[in-house]
A and B are shown apart, each in its own frame.
Chain A
Amino acid sequence: SQKIEQNSEALNIQEGKTATLTCNYTNYSPAYLQWYRQDPGRGPVFLLLIRENEKEKRKERLKVTFDTTLKQSLFHITASQPADSATYLCALGVDSSYKLIFGSGTRLLVRP
């Protein structure tokens, strides 16, 4: 069956460290992958897009990698801050139909 898996347990790290979040998928061949941030009581907010032919994308303190062989994307936040505390969702774009399928999200807690 098709699955998108993100760590269900919260990731708890110290301020200033690098947070690394994982998104694994099975039985999908995504054309691209997006990462979103969601704060309590709010809708998800887009962060980064990476296409199937790209290995890595960066934006300020954020970095995303995409390994289509391992069927995995890693999302890194360097020099993390308490304000980075939120739930992070990965989403797969499986074709050109504009359809986007979300993982269950990983909650990140950054301690001061």
Chain B
Amino acid sequence: EAGVAQSPRYKIIEKRQSVAFWCNPISGHATLYWYQQILGQGPKLLIQFQNNGVVDDSQLPKDRFSAERLKGVDSTLKIQPAKLEDSAVYLCASRQGSSYNSPLHFGNGTRLTVT
């Protein structure tokens, strides 16, 4: 099966600019996650979708970050305006809906550098 696809692979922007990341999960996976991973740290959950509804966005900085999942498939994560501390890898993951303890499948992430 095809894995989780993310683009772009790398992005460099200046602070106060906007940026968007795209994720295409594994076909049929109902749950989709966006994680932020700062260098040397573990992934931090930003937002979790179940189909096209938001389940958890408690850690999403909503003043600058937004995310949507169109028709319960692809998802985009946007940052506007970006800050220096947003420099990180943004990982998308998906999971089958059949079992709550099933594993996450991750994409290889988008590395964002804010200068």
Q: Which residues of A contact B (CB under 8 A)?
A: 4, 6, 31-32, 34, 36, 41-46, 49, 51, 89, 91, 93, 96-105
Contact = CB atoms under 8 A, between A and B. Distances in A.
A26 B9 CA distance: 35
Contact of B101 (A32, A44, A89, A104): A32
Interface string B95-113: 1000011011111110000
Contacts, number: 64
A100 B44 CA distance: 9
Nearest to B38: A104
Contacts of B33: 100
Contacts of B48: 98-99
Interface of B: 4, 31, 33, 35, 40-45, 48, 50, 55-56, 91, 93, 95, 100-101, 103-109
A41 B6 CA distance: 13
B106 to A, nearest CB: 3
A43 B106 contact: yes
13 contacts: A31-B100, A34-B103, A42-B108, A43-B4, A43-B107, A44-B43, A46-B103, A93-B100, A98-B55, A99-B56, A100-B33, A100-B104, A105-B41
